[in-house]
Amino acid sequence: MLRAVLISLSISTFASAAGGPLEEALAKMDQAAGTLKDLSADLTRTHHVALINEDTVDKGVIYIKRPKSHELLMHVVIRMPDPKEFAYDARRAEVYYPKSQTEEIYDVGKYKNLADQLLLLGFGTTSKELAQGYTIALGGAEVLNGQKMTRLELTPKSDELHLKRVDLWISDQTGLPMQQKLFWPGPNGGDYDIATYTNMKVNPNLPESTFKLTLPKGTKKQFPQK
């Protein structure tokens, strides 16, 4: 369950010659990482189940803040079809279900490294940091929503993530991810999640209150890890 929560919130070997498209994309990511303080974006998240060939699509907004290097605040608000909210910091992850007025609280301190590998996929992450968890290869040049992108293929170095591969579509203009696709292993052999970001605003100076859940009085708190 904790892995699902962290996902909801989502270079040891180069595959091209020096100065090629891969290095150019990674250089743009490094440049963006040096200037990114916070951002907001509209979020569309699609979960595909291969066995029944069915998609579930969530729509909402995402807020990210990097107070310091290796620190992350994240708040995801899913507005439709099933409203819920996720909040994450270095200590814990929270999930709020408005229909039942229930909040689930997870201790993520001891899973921080794994959480960072999932949640920092391109948002303020340097190529060096990305390479600590993934082998990076060039997927190719593509166009997404009218913007030129470079698609990167990331293969996890650890089985702890339970991921086959992650694809990142990095904007040639901003060096930030406009889309992420997570491929899952398993008997179905084709399940994946895609997160697409639009209407992105970079460094809008979001207050830290943006990243705290505002819960109604009487909200029930649950601790699934206990």
Backbone angles phi, psi at 161, to 5 degrees: -75, -20
If you ran DSSP here, which 8-state letter would residue 208 be given? G
Residue written as token pair 């491929």 = 183
For each of the domains in the chain, give its residue range(s) and CATH number, in order of start: 2-10+15-210 (2.50.20.10)
- Indicate the pairing of strand 192-202 with strand 220-222: unpaired
Q: What is the 3-state secondary structure (H, E, C) of 55-120?
A: EEEEEEEEEEECCCCCCCEEEEEEEECCCEEEEECCCEEEEEECCCCEEEEEECHHHHHHHHHHHC
Enter the tokens of residue 67.
């107070």
The angle subtended at Cα 5 by Cα 11 and Cα 61, nearest 5°, is: 90
**pLDDT tens digit at each of 226 positions of the chain:** 555 554 454 422 233 334 588 999 999 999 998 899 999 999 999 999 988 899 999 999 999 998 876 678 899 999 999 999 999 887 888 999 999 999 999 887 766 666 666 666 778 888 888 888 889 999 999 999 999 999 999 998 887 777 899 999 999 999 999 999 999 887 767 899 999 999 999 999 999 899 999 899 999 999 988 7
